[in-house]
Structure formats: C-alpha cells, structure tokens
Structure 1
Amino acid sequence: MTAGTTAERVSNSDGFKGLAKLGFAARGTIYLLLGFFAVMLVLGKRTPEADQRGAMQEVARHTGGFLLLWLIAIGFVGYALWRYSEAAFGVTGKSKDDKLPRLKSLARGVIYTGLAVSAFTILATARSKSQANQQQQWTSKVMEYPLGRWVIGIIGAVIIGIGLGLMFQGIMRKFKKHFAMEDMPTRSRRIVWFLGTFGITARGVVFGLVGFFLIRAAWEYDPSKARGLDGALRSTVADSDTGRLLIAVCAVGLIAFGLYAYAEAAWRRT
C-alpha cells in the first residue's frame, strides 16, 4: 500500500470526518459570537473586537473558556486538514480532474490554519494583537512598495468577488448539494435552507464591505482606511442610519450562519 493510498484512507475515516464536523461546529461558535458582537455594536454597546480573533479572545476571558477555546482550536485544525484532504484527493461530488474546487479547498485550509494558529497563540499567551491594527500595519507596509496600492486594490476586488460569490450561493441555495438529504428530517431541511440562505448571503455582504474598505484605502493612499471585519462593521454603523440598519441585518445573518454551521456539523457530507 502506497503512502498516498494510506493518506486517502485516513482522510475518509470516521475519525477524520469527526474532526471535520468538530471544525464546522467551531466555525459556528465563532460566527454566533461575531453576530452577537455586531448586534451589540448596533445597539451602541461597548464590544470586543468584532472579528475572529476578538471572538476567541472573548471566549478565553470567561470561566471554562480555555476548554472551549481548546475545542475550537482543535476543530479549526480538523477543518483545515479536511480541506487539505479535499485539495489532495478531490472534493466530494466533484471530479478529481476538476481543479477549481480543489484550489478553493486549499485556500480554505490555509485560512483555517491561520485561525487555528491564532487560537493556539491566545491559549499560550492569553493575549493577542488586535487584528484590525495588524491589517492596517500590513496594508501600510505593502503600500510602501511601487505597486503596493495596486496589490491592495486587487486584494480588495478579490474579496468583493468572494462576497458576491457567497451571496450568489446563498440566494440560489447552492449549499443544498452538500447535505445528506436522506438523513435530514423534512422540517429540519426547511429551517436549514432558511438559515443557509440568509446566513451565507449576509456573510457575502460583510465580505463585500471588507473589500470595499481595502479598495478605498488603496484609492486614497491611506492605510488607516483599510478595514478588517471589525473595522468594516464599525465604520458602516457610524456612517448613517442606513448603515446601522444594514449591519443589524448582517448581525442577525451572521448568527443565522453560525446556526447553519452547526447543521453542517450534523448533516453535511464529508
């Protein structure tokens, strides 16, 4: 038996799939917190930083939080490994020769590897730099180079493209194909389809806001205008009553996406 065959068998094992499901649950927990932070932001309450790192830091501050954060960190590792296995051996329901889904899985694996590293860093140090400040520092550094503004602008455009893609997936309910329909009660399906439609679409809008602020920073040659998730939410809320309403809808949508992620943990094909 070759090493590649062994690795593929491991990636298809029940234990490995269990790690992937733990990853979906971890993602759901983080998005529930993000949605809650966004609701508090709209209400004018003082909140932790409304991004993934801020959510994990808030978890670590509470009694029993370190245990929960350990589970989240392990879940992110499991999710990342599952995505890497898709990149290596093919995505369920897709041809192994179809490269685009495998590249998407690779990108998602890298993103969740970063989130896992952040979680373990918080566990090790009980503190972490602000994600918003890190993004502004990174943007400022990139802009020092001759083509830096173009790079930031292109990254912003790509993020907007991802956001539009998520909105399309949510509105058209493309996510339904990932679920094991035979295992889902009919009533549960209706609830999950609603949560997925609303949650994924709202997540796409938030991605679009982040991309918009990156393009704005590049256009105005002002790194302070670059915004991560936290900055995009705060800036949009401060912009107008319309912005406040938009973020209120997105906040509820992020909570819906968090609940949808729990449904993925229960019924998604892995």
Structure 2
Amino acid sequence: MNARVLARTGRGHARRAANGSVAEGAARAGLTARGVIYLLVGILALRIAFGSGDRQADRGGALAELSDRPFGAVLLWALGAGLAGMALWRLSEALFGVTGKDGRTARKRLPAAARCVFYAFVAYSVLAFAAGAGGSGSSDRQSRDVTARVMEMPVGRWLVGAAGAAIVVAGVVIGVQALRRTYRKKLKLAGMDHRARLLVDVTGVGGGTARGIVFAAAGAFAVRAAVDYAPDRAKGLDDTLRSFADTSLGPWLLACVAAGLVLFGVFSFALARWRRV
C-alpha cells in the first residue's frame, strides 16, 4: 500500500516538474520575443527622431523590418512561437497561480488571464504576418477604427473615456513600479553578479519608465478623443511616439523615449535569463 502511495506521489512530483519546465520554457521564450519587438520598435522610433525612418514605429513596422533580414521568415515564425509561449505561460498563471506571495488570489490571477488574451492576439497577428496574411496592420488605423466603432454604441463615448483613463493609470503604475524597482522581487538575485544587477537596474528603470510614459500618453489621447467626440484623435503606438517630437523639446524627447523602449527590450532579455518563473 505504501509503495503504491509513494509511486503515485512520485508520479505527481514528476508531472508537476514537467509542467513547471514547460511553463518556464514558454515564459523565457515569450519574454525574449517581447524584447525583440520592443527593441525593434525603439530602433524604428530612433530613426524617425533623427529623420531617417520610413516605417511605422509599431508592431507592424517591427515585423516588416524583421522580414527584410536574412532568414526573416524563420525569425518571424520563431517570434510568433515565442509570443504563443508567453500566452501559455500567462494562462498557466491564471489557472494555477502566480509565483510569489498571494499568487493564487484572484487579484493576481485575473491580470494574468488578461495578459493571456492580449498575448494570444499578438501571437496570432505575428503568425498571420509570417504566413503572408498581413496579420498586423497599422496600430494608428486600428486604434481609430476601434474607437470609432465603440463610440457608435449607446455609451461608447464613456467606454472610450474609461478605457483611456485606465490606460493612463496603467502607464503611471508601470512608470512608478520601474522607478521603485519592484521587478527585483521577481528576480533570481542570488544568481546575479554586480554587473548583471546593474544591467537590470539601468534597463529596468529606464525602459520601464519610458514604457509607462508611452502608455500614459496613448491613454490621454483616448480620453481626449472621448471628450471631443472625435475618434480620429485616438492614436496608436506610432502616432503616440511621433507626438513626442511635436513638443517644445522636438525630436530629442522622441529620441529619449525611443532609447527607453530599446532599454526595455534589453530588460526583457534580462528577465528571460534571471526572472523567477
């Protein structure tokens, strides 16, 4: 009897270990893929800031840039697979809980479910692009089209305004968390030397702050679109980034934000290496 119990227990441990390994592999592949996209978007935005960019600084532009590289088709399929892995990782967190304190609470699992849906959509768009179906169009056009459709609903104007305000809050939270270096709670700090920690802090603070600024700006444009009842005022990632060049600081502000997105791409690579999953 004891032998049977021990056998079942052993099989259970082995199954959990296997599932954990799959989730960890999916997470690290997904973080790497996210890093590639942010890195490319940042580079495209830097080109725009310095007057040499002819592609949109968004996911569609990043995929087009990648497709022009040697073995571009292979890279696109790998990127899509990595993002699918990110979606699966977030799904496992939603179903079984998140790493860390209170990881099984609804407060932690519901955001994981939302991230799963988001990354599943992104993975689909990338894989569709890789398959030659277009997949990922202009973020600016998509933003305006979605805003216009929602505003046609009875309370659409309020929904757009609420969504925009939520994105602004999310951007502020992302920026504050980056400045407070809360990401350290999820890192394997014991396995990192001084240089690795410095790399993570520079890229995490700089990249996270820039990402938060972009989120907050995009949300603010959505709120303005709702207030003015003008869907065309909503902006996607490319138009949001270009708007930084229209400020009194000119292209230099765009260059700083773009450099921050590049840093966030590197930060995602660092998370793929040292994050606890």
CA contact (8 A) 2:23 2:92 kept: no
Task: Write the distance in 2 (CA, Å) between the matches of 1:11 and 1:102.
Answer: 21
- Show the counterpart of 1:124: 131
**Is 1:205 paired with 2:192?**
no
- Show the counterpart of 2:191: 183
Other structure's SS at 1:140 match: helix
Relative to 1, partners in 2 of residues 1:101 and 1:264: Cα closer, same or farther, differing over 3 Å?
same
Q: How many Å apart are 1:96 and its aligned residue?
A: 4.3
Q: How many Å apart are 1:240 and its aligned residue?
A: 2.7
Question: TM-score, normalising length from structure 1?
Answer: 0.92
AA aligned to 2:128 is T
Question: TM-score, normalising length from structure 2?
Answer: 0.90
Relative to 1, partners in 2 of residues 1:10 and 1:111: Cα closer, same or farther, differing over 3 Å?
farther
Task: Write the distance in 1 (CA, Å) between the matches of 2:45 and 2:36.
Answer: 14
- Show the counterpart of 2:59: 52
Task: Write the distance in 2 (CA, Å) between the matches of 1:243 and 1:155.
Answer: 29
Q: Deviations over 1:231-268 (max 9, x none)?
A: 1112232x233253322211111011100110011111
CA contact (8 A) 2:179 2:209 kept: yes
AA aligned to 1:142 is V
Task: Write the distance in 2 (CA, Å) between the matches of 1:107 and 1:159.
Answer: 14
CA contact (8 A) 1:57 1:127 kept: no
AA aligned to 2:123 is A
Give 2:166's match in structure 1, choosing from 158, 165, 169: 158
**Is 1:67 paired with 2:78?**
no
Matched ranges for 1:213-232 at <5 A: 213-232=221-240
AA aligned to 1:100 is R
Other structure's SS at 1:58 match: helix
- Show the counterpart of 2:273: 266
Q: Which moved more, 1:212-221 or 1:91-100?
A: 91-100
- Show the counterpart of 1:94: 101
CA contact (8 A) 2:33 2:79 kept: yes
Q: Deviations over 1:129-183 (max 9, x none)?
A: 3222122111111111221111111110010011001011101000001111121
Q: Which moved more, 1:253-262 or 1:216-225?
A: 216-225
- Show the counterpart of 1:24: 31
Q: How many Å apart are 1:46 and its aligned residue?
A: 2.9
Larger Rg: 2
Q: Which moved more, 1:246-255 or 1:199-208?
A: 246-255
**Runs of 5+ unmatched residues, structure 2:** 1-7
Q: How many Å apart are 1:84 and its aligned residue?
A: 0.9
Q: Which moved more, 1:88-97 or 1:254-263?
A: 88-97
**Runs of 5+ unmatched residues, structure 1:** none
Number of aligned residues: 266
Task: Write the distance in 2 (CA, Å) between the matches of 1:208 and 1:10.
Answer: 40
Q: How many Å apart are 1:95 and its aligned residue?
A: 2.1
Identity %: 40
